[in-house]
A and B are shown apart, each in its own frame.
Chain A
Amino acid sequence: MNLTKQEYEKLNQKASKNTKSYITLPMAFLVGGLICTLGQALMDLYSTLGFNEKDAGMLVSASLIFLTALFTGLSLFNVLAKHAGAGTLVPITGFANAMVSPALEFKSEGFILGLGAKMFIIAGPVLVYGISASIIYGIILYLVQVFAG
């Protein structure tokens, strides 16, 4: 069937309204919990392989990001995300998907201003405000160090 954008929005809204919290909340808990459990399993694996805690933690993030990139590329991530809601959004998988998905979709607009720029359409703000917050924290820490001895 062919739909105009407006008609689609309407259908979309209707569908969203029908998603009840007694379904979305347990789904988010279940999927989010499972992703974190997978992260813990990977953490244990990398620790067993001899990586220190910092490196193991980084490798866990990198692994989950890799899996997200793969599943997004195969169009499987969206299927899961549709049911999981915040369960896939809130873990590092949501951040990774927010980079891979627009990079892939906007590839057609070129490698520089399409793929390269659109990759950061959501990740950009996350980095801007996350890093800025951490710098402000660092300045406060420094001042406390200086004045409180």
Chain B
Amino acid sequence: MDIFIEYLKAFVVGGLICVVGQLLIDFTKLTPARILVGFVVAGVILGAVGLYGPLVEFAGAGATVPLTGFGYNLAKGVKEAVEESGLIGALTGGLKASAGGIAAAIFFSLLAALIFKPSDRSISG
């Protein structure tokens, strides 16, 4: 039962964060690129003011999987690094905390681009 509630919380909170993105797509002229940038920066800010941490505790992957979670992870990494090593932590903390994800994204993108053929995007047919 516990695991069901855990999954339900991840589902509902993750779903709602995506609904915010869909509202932006449907009712503003923001491009997907702007929305992605906005979500990451929003995550940094919400993490910085201490609002996102409790959400992660409540919803787990429901809060960490959306891109706001990436921003939160950057902010959290910076906070820990500044507490540990001072000003230099402002430079190192963010990337240190997100190194695995960024490296994975680069490497898997390269692999996929090498292995697969581009889809036929021509409009004819």
| B61 close to A87 (CB less than 8 A) | no
Given contacts A87-B18, A142-B82, is CB(A1)–CB(B104) below 8 Å?
no
Q: Min CB distance, A3 to chain B, in Å?
A: 5
Report yes or no: B112 in contact with A95, Cβ–Cβ below 8 A.
no
Residue of A nearest to B8 (CB): A37
CB < 8 Å neighbour of B79 from A69, A96, A141: A141
From 37 to 85 in chain A, residues with beta carbon under 8 angstroms from any chain B beta carbon are: 37, 39-44, 57-62, 64-66, 68-70, 72-75, 78, 85
With the chains together, A90 CA to B11 CA distance in Å?
14
Residues of chain A within 8 A of B60, CB atoms compared:
40, 43
A43 touches B94 (CB 8 A): no
Given known pairs A40-B10, A64-B65, the reply for A141 and B112 (CB within 8 Å) is no
Interface size, chain A (Cβ < 8 Å): 80
Q: How far is the CB of A106 from chain B (nearest CB, A)?
A: 8
Contact with A along B79-116 (1 / 0, CB 8 A): 10111001101110111000011101110111111111
Answer yes or no: B51 CB below 8 A from chain A CBs.
no
Q: Does B22 lie within 8 Å of A36, measured CB to CB?
A: no
The dominant DSSP class at the A interface is: helix
How distant is the Cα of A23 from the Cα of B100 in the complex, in angstroms?
A: 36
**Does any Cβ of B come within 8 Å of A113's Cβ?**
no
The answer to whether A65 and B89 have CB atoms under 8 Å apart is no
B11 in contact with A134 (CB, 8 Å): no
Q: Inside 8 A of B64's CB, which chain A residues have their CB?
A: 39, 43, 57, 60
Q: Given that A115-B113, A130-B71 are known contacts, is A86 also in contact with B25, CB under 8 Å in the complex?
A: yes
In the complex, are the beta carbons of A90 and B112 less than 8 A apart? no
Smallest beta-carbon distance A119→chain B, Å? 5
A34 to B115 alpha-carbon distance, docked (Å): 28
* 10 examples of A-B residue contacts, CB within 8 angstroms: A2-B123, A32-B15, A37-B62, A42-B61, A43-B60, A86-B35, A87-B18, A100-B108, A125-B36, A137-B78
Residues of B within 8 A of A (CB): 3, 6-7, 10-27, 32-33, 35-37, 39-41, 43-45, 47-48, 59-62, 64-67, 69-71, 73-75, 77-79, 81-83, 86-87, 89-91, 93-95, 100-102, 104-106, 108-116, 118-119, 121, 123-125
Residues of A within 8 A of B (CB): 1-3, 5, 8, 21, 24-25, 27-37, 39-44, 57-62, 64-66, 68-70, 72-75, 78, 85-87, 89-92, 94-96, 98-100, 103-105, 107-108, 115, 119, 122-123, 125-127, 129-131, 133-135, 137-142, 145
